[in-house]
Structure 1
Amino acid sequence: MRIVAILSILILIGCSNESKIERIDGSEIEKEQLTEKIKSLMESADVNGLAVSILNNNESVYQKTYGYSNWSTKDTLNNNSIFYGASLSKAVFAVLVMQLVEEGKINLDTPLQNYLDKPLSEYEFNRDWRGYDDLKDDKRYECITARMCLSHTTGLPNWRFLTKSGFDINGKLHFRHEPGTRYSYSGEGISLLQFVVEKITGKGLEAIAQEKIFQPLEMKRTSYIYVQQEKFKNQYVYGNDKNQKMIPFDEADEAGAAGTLCTTLADYSKFIEALLKYKLISKHSFDEMFNKQVSINSKQQFGPNALVETSENEDIGLGYGLGWGLLETPYGFGAFKEGHSEGFQHYSIVFPEKQMGMVILSNSDNGESIFMELLEIGIGDTYTPWEWENYIPYNNNP
């Protein structure tokens, strides 16, 4: 009888633990409580759809979706619904580059020009806004390295067509800062590194990513080519604006390391798990990727405040590694990556020393307005710099 009683207690303890999520500060939250809180937040902030994954001990212990993949038809989201991942693309690409570093195919500190057969500015592209002819008289491009591209210190703008006066398809590529001197988020820098990686390997990005990451991890619904495939019919997610109006599906038929990834909650969670378990890169490469390359002193990441210096985030040691943002907490460092585009707002953060993390995918332009509270209640993350990220809470009073 005594043995039976002990076993019963152990079973009850096990069931109890399975119903809870551990946070980075050691506190816990019931899964049902989190679920109800998420529903309440979504309703209050008019968020159409949300997908959330939480990791404890480097394993997903909570994966749930809420709301709709298609607001007009009221198709519900599920763990295999295919989201446009936006800049989550960069986090995956950073891991891919670190794999190539391990293989000796690229060096983080060798100028990218050294891998090319002719000057970068002389290469021709099938899209005018992709080429580097604008830099032919500015030889600073010759010193750009893979490390600069991944740490966003190339000095290049985010995108040449996002000019001070607004969108301009004829915008010129230029240096905003001296290469290697300061953090300035740049999709152009990531695209440059992609171009060189494809030249080095002789393969396109999609083929390399499938070979090295997606297929080994059985991420069957993840791709850098964001076009609707018949086999995944009705599994694609549609974005919604702040007024809950659905945005037309926007396909990307050319793989882009800076922002064409499509993925699911289940697939991206596999990627995060594998990364934290050193299944994709070695511990040495992992440490290098999450080693702070540059401190960030800007008031915000984008917009006019990106040029305003501040000490507001010194307490969390805000900075950037290779492909991931970094922050410091009493519980170890956090590594984060966002995704943001019209109708899609995502955030992921991992705390490797606590073996924890959280992935948030949203197909609503109101999604970011609940990120601060969602991170706090979900994993006890009160360190993500929501003002710097412009994750203004829906109930924030100016």
Structure 2
Amino acid sequence: MAHPPFPGRRRFLAATAALCVAGALPWQRAFAAPCRPDGPWIPGDDFLAELPRLMQAFAVPGVGIAVVEDSALAWSRVFGVGNVETAAPLDARTVFETASLSKPVFAYLVMQLADQGVIDLDHPLVDYHRPVYLGEHPWLARITARDVLRHSTGLPNWRAAPATEKLVPLAEPGTRIDYSGEAFVWLQLVLEKLTGQSLDEAMQARLFGPAGMRDSSYTWNADLAARSVFGHRAHDEPGEGLPPQMFREQWNAALPVAEHWGKPLSAWKYEDAERALPEVMKRARPGLVTVPGDLLANAAASLRCTVQDYARFLARMVQRQPRADWEVAEATRQAMLTPQIRVPGRWTEKGLGWNLESTPAGPVFCHAGSNGGIFKNFVVGDARRRRGIVVLTNGGSGGFVYQRVVRAATGLDLLSHDV
């Protein structure tokens, strides 16, 4: 965890957030904080005019931005290209790889099922389902869905050698924060058992369909392949041509098997991926596919969608009336945005699926995403003011861009950019 560089940083941010920029030079106005704390989070024209220069400076070929105001998608734009080799421009139907922005969306599904009594957030996961790759450790019996969503399972983020390494906790559950994608996948397999559906089937039925998120999926098909951006190296990373595209390559190797079976990847559960593994390994380059999880939708990392679709989800997390029957209960939404574990010395807190931060303008919820060092994304919301912004990029240096977008749009310099 990174700490503020000096004790007065928050006082400094509070002061600078209040500064009016009316007398500033054009480039200063483009990057300075808004004068009105309650103003909209739609980036200003001066900043948008500068954005292509920023993208070029940091070798980020494509950026998508969408803004929620008054609990609804209010504005969206895409900039640049999805693949520098083809130079095909982005458009409103371009699909981004959201990386760890997948986690809050999955958390919403978990909370829907908790509202319905399908899962108890505080019941041990091993009682619901024990994956074959779990090791033997007494702490495993204490891990719950709440631990997964607040990152207190003690499990590693990802095993270094999943084909030979068993999954066990590295710390006592419930005692500290250990960011873990493995934990989210375990909870995903629990939901498979409880609902009888694949992850994508459950998401389409309970969230994507009702929320109008028509261009969202945790898996892969020919249409998504044609509309999905490619990831690109960071501006200071050496290399020629496009870097490896992990999910794209893994799923392209699995598609022929899915087509032969007549069962789309979106319908695959763990047992399907397990059965397909030997055949897909024959098709894939060495080392690309080693375990069934390489072929399965990934609750922690594999959501891809348009930037507008992500904003439609974000709109469900802020205060809104009326609420549809399929949405989580209001008390549940508030619980997702309430600190769930206290760890001394942290500047940010963990809700259920979200990071929480106090700012000079009030509390916000947020999450960052990074896949393979070639996709960098960020989302932040202000539930009380019913607004939010999501920035999706296809470059390894996308963090340098999304931080500037968020600062220009919101006036906030978030500590969550650094932790």
Structure 1 length normalisation: TM-score?
A: 0.77
Helix, strand or coil: the match of 2:197?
coil
After superposition, the C-alpha distances for 1:292-345 in whole angstroms (9 at most, x for unaligned) are 012456xxxxxxxxxxxxx4x54xxx1101111111124331111221112111
Distance 1:213 1:175, change over 3 A: same
Structure 1 residue 189 displacement after superposition: 1.1
Structure 1 residue 228 displacement after superposition: 3.8
Give the aligned partner of residue 123 of structure 2.
Answer: 110
Give the aligned partner of residue 145 of structure 1.
Answer: 144
8 Å contact kept, 1:350–1:358: yes
The structure richer in strand per residue is 1
* 1:359 aligns to 2:390 (yes or no): yes
Mapping of residues 1-398 of structure 1, within 5 Å: 25-27=37-39, 31-116=44-129, 120=130, 123-124=131-132, 131-132=133-134, 134-135=135-136, 138-161=137-160, 169-225=163-219, 227-229=220-222, 231-232=223-224, 234-243=226-235, 245-249=241-245, 250-251=247-248, 252=251, 253-276=295-318, 277=320, 278-279=323-324, 280-295=327-342, 311=345, 314=347, 318-342=348-372, 343-388=374-419
Letter in 2 for 1:352: A
Query: Please, which runs of 5 or more residues in structure 1 have no aligned partner?
Result: 1-20, 125-130, 162-166, 298-310, 389-398
Distance 1:108 1:233, change over 3 A: closer
8 Å contact kept, 2:140–2:168: no
Helix, strand or coil: the match of 1:101?
helix
User: Equivalents in 1 of 2:397, 2:142: separation in Å?
Assistant: 40
8 Å contact kept, 1:82–1:235: yes
Structure 1 residue 198 displacement after superposition: 1.3
8 Å contact kept, 1:80–1:221: yes
Query: Please, which runs of 5 or more residues in structure 2 have no aligned partner?
Result: 1-32, 252-294
8 Å contact kept, 1:23–1:378: no
Helix, strand or coil: the match of 1:53?
strand
Structure 1 residue 86 displacement after superposition: 1.3
Structure 1 residue 245 displacement after superposition: 4.2
After superposition, the C-alpha distances for 1:84-136 in whole angstroms (9 at most, x for unaligned) are 121111111100000001101111111122334xxx2xx54xxxxxx21x22x
Question: How much identity, in percent, do the aligned residues show?
Answer: 29
Q: How many corresponding residue pairs? A: 330
8 Å contact kept, 1:296–1:320: no
Structure 1 residue 46 displacement after superposition: 2.2
8 Å contact kept, 1:332–1:354: no
Structure 2 length normalisation: TM-score?
A: 0.73
8 Å contact kept, 1:160–1:174: no
User: Equivalents in 2 of 1:74, 1:375: separation in Å?
Assistant: 26
Structure 1 residue 275 displacement after superposition: 3.1
User: Equivalents in 1 of 2:165, 2:340: separation in Å?
Assistant: 29
8 Å contact kept, 2:73–2:308: no
User: Equivalents in 1 of 2:224, 2:299: separation in Å?
Assistant: 22
